[in-house]
Chain A
Amino acid sequence: MNIFCFGISHQTASLEIRERFAVAHSALPEFLTKLIRVPAIGEVVLLSTCNRTEFYVVSHDAHLAAEPLFEDIFGKVRPGDCQHLFRLSLVQTVRHLFRVASGLESMVVGETEIFGQVKRAYEEAVRLGATGKILNRLFQKAFHVGKLVRSSMAITRGSVSVGSVAVDLAEQIFSHLSECKVMILGAGETSEKTAKCLQARGAQQIFVANRSFERAAILAEQTGSRAIRFNEWAAEFEDLDILISSTSAPHAILTAEKLQPVLRTRRDRPLFIIDLAVPRDVAPDVHHLDGVFVYDLDSLQAIAAQTLQTRKDEAERCEEVILKQVDEFQLWMVRNCAATLGSTQSEVLRFE
């Protein structure tokens, strides 16, 4: 028996090519049934996400190739597509799956969604009876490795997008976002995303102010918030906690001079300002006021970049953990599957 991984991923192909091989979750049973019917395949798990489509296969055929398999499943493969497909042999497959489950193969290193996607793909294969002794063991081990890496390394720590960094900071200032009053000034795309991030973490009182009231009303409807007239935004400041500003004003619309009188009425309540506008809506001197914290695009992006770098550094440490787990799996294979592996594979395992 041989273990292979055939696939296409964000590392080998662009989205334009990947989308032709994507399999919706609802279509998984149909595709898995097709795969099980391939005579050379003994066990199979099909993993399909927006970044990858991969078949984890146990086969008696040592020469099983990617191209004919993809043709069997997806129909005719275009000539140029073959160069984007990959085929991994036993040890490479084990290492690859452990890296995928740990988030190390993801586009955003350390993202956690992939763990659930691998789990769902495996469960679907189990439900259809497409797995056996080897893939069951391999995937259980992969889940163990994924959990181990996430719990003992800083691979998932921190946020890597502007919106989620802003939300993390807001949570470190206010504890509970459900009690915060949030105002969106200027209904741009980034402020909309940030507002949705805040909402996802519990923010309930959201106001939208925009020069075009209609646009404010549309965004308010989308986010389940309330639209207010643009000339009324300053009046809402007294009990405001978070301001997300992204107007297209050519100069700063909020200065320390304007803000100081309002701050006197709200002494010990911090004010968090997320300035996403270019040029900036908030004058730099506002950040120097007591209890006011202004984060612009540059500062949020710098934090996101720092987090990403930390995750990449941590990924090297994770590699050591993964290699140790690959060794353990190899040992299990030699002890339990030597008879079915055949002498060549066993020798390869021992050698590796």
Chain B
Amino acid sequence: MHLDFLATLLVGPDRIWVGAASTCFILAFVYSGFALASGWPLAARNTLILIGLGFTALTTFLFVRGHAIGRCPITNYFELLVFMAWSMVLIYFGIGSTYRMSLLGAFTAPVASIILVSALSLPDRSIAPIKTAVDPWLEAHTSFSIVACGAFALACVAGGMYLFQERQLKTLKPGSIFFRLPPITALTVANSRLLWVGFALLTVGLSTGFFVKAEVDWRKVAWSIIVWSVYGGILFARLRRRMAARWIATFSIIAFSLLLGIFWGIRFISESSSVQG
């Protein structure tokens, strides 16, 4: 009853919450970018507040949309991307204060903004309850997989920061930004931790997929196994010390790009099939 009232209060064009969140993340990015470029002391707390506001807006959207359709709001590509950005920020908040208060936020904000702006460019469905029965395995499968994508996105950010720091050290002329980003050993630990979290979540997500009572799309299964294997390979190499930290960081970026490419590829193929059908 209380939830109904709250949802009614917040309802309207619910995409406005996604727009608000994008604005917060863009502001966080612009603020930290300006502070870095001008040498102005960066208050990490301000970035954190802006990202927190963006996260609140996204949570509100997911709540309102979930309430309207009567299930977890991951039923189309727009919702999937919003859920991915939300997961990424959720993991950013959960990663630990050492990394959260550093400039990781400044680098997380633009990635979240890009994901949300891409989401807003996609067509959305009308908000009406879905009549078909909810398959809990499908919801678990999708949500775990998307949260895993959020962890991989953040691993990609940490990897990018590592490469930036490493490059600064190799040029022998580290600028003022170098001294304001986290130390490279801290970024190696963050990158590794995020890869493990993402891999564990993806494993759970893919495992629950086997219980989904629906027609199997073998293309999706094959691509999912490829992504799982790529991340598994990176972690195996790290575990066996076969790869230097620089290569782990590079592969975190390549693997996440591959993941996004597959995401858009599957969407494109699905749309082409439906048009032909």
Contact = CB atoms under 8 A, between A and B. Distances in A.
B272 interface: no
Contacts of A268: 188, 238, 241, 243-245, 248
B92 to A, nearest CB: 19
A21 interface: no
Contact of A172 (B178, B246, B248): B178
Contacts of B165: 172
B6 to A, nearest CB: 43
Contact of B39 (A154, A168, A171): A154
B184 A287 contact: no
Given A172-B178, A173-B183, A291 B41 contact: no
A347 interface: no
Contact of B170 (A157, A168, A293): A293
Contacts of A173: 169, 183-185
B185 A291 contact: no
A310 B165 CA distance: 21
A174 B238 CA distance: 19
Contacts of B170: 287, 293
A270 B185 contact: yes
- Count chain A CB atoms within 10 A of each CB in B41, B174, B241, B245 and give the residue with the most: B174
Contacts of A158: 176, 179
A295 to B, nearest CB: 7
Contact of A157 (B174, B176, B182, B245): B176
A302 B241 contact: no
A306 B184 CA distance: 22
Interface residues of A, number: 29
B39 A172 contact: no
Contact of B173 (A151, A152, A291, A303): A303
Contact of A267 (B169, B173, B174, B245): B245
B186 interface: yes
B128 interface: no
B244 A291 contact: yes
- Count chain B CB atoms within 10 A of each CB in A171, A173, A265, A295 and give the residue with the most: A173
Interface string A236-275: 0000000000000000000000000000111111100000
Nearest to B187: A175
Interface in B173-214: 173-174, 176, 178-179, 182-186, 188
Interface string A281-301: 000000100110101000100
B174 A172 contact: yes
Contact of A169 (B174, B186, B188): B174
Contacts of A303: 173-174
Interface in A213-238: none
Contacts of A265: 241
A290 B182 CA distance: 19
Nearest to A306: B173
Interface string B23-62: 0000000000000000101000000000000000000000
Nearest to B241: A267
A237 to B, nearest CB: 16
Contact of B183 (A175, A267, A295, A299): A175
Contacts of A287: 170, 172
Contacts of A306: 173
A310 B38 CA distance: 12
Contacts of B174: 169, 172, 303
Nearest to A293: B169
Contacts of B246: 290-291
A196 B165 CA distance: 26
Interface string A145-187: 0000001101001100000000011011111000000000000
B173 A168 contact: no
Contacts of B220: none
B176 A174 contact: no
A265 B247 CA distance: 16
Given A287-B170, A293-B169, A299-B172, A270 B179 contact: no
B44 to A, nearest CB: 16
A266 B243 CA distance: 10
Contacts of B238: 268
A303 B247 CA distance: 28
A172 B241 contact: no
B267 interface: no
B184 A151 contact: no
Given A295-B172, A299-B172, A303-B173, A172 B179 contact: yes
Interface in B230-270: 238, 241-248
- Count chain A CB atoms within 10 A of each CB in B169, B188, B238, B245 and give the residue with the most: B169
A306 B179 CA distance: 14
Contact of B244 (A157, A172, A290, A310): A290
Minimum-distance CB pairs A-B, first 5 = A290-B244, A267-B241, A268-B245, A299-B172, A175-B183
19 contacts: A151-B41, A168-B179, A169-B169, A169-B174, A172-B169, A172-B174, A172-B178, A172-B184, A173-B183, A175-B182, A175-B183, A175-B185, A264-B241, A268-B188, A287-B170, A291-B244, A291-B246, A299-B172, A306-B173
Given A291-B244, A310-B176, 6 more contacts: A172-B169, A265-B241, A268-B244, A268-B248, A270-B184, A306-B173
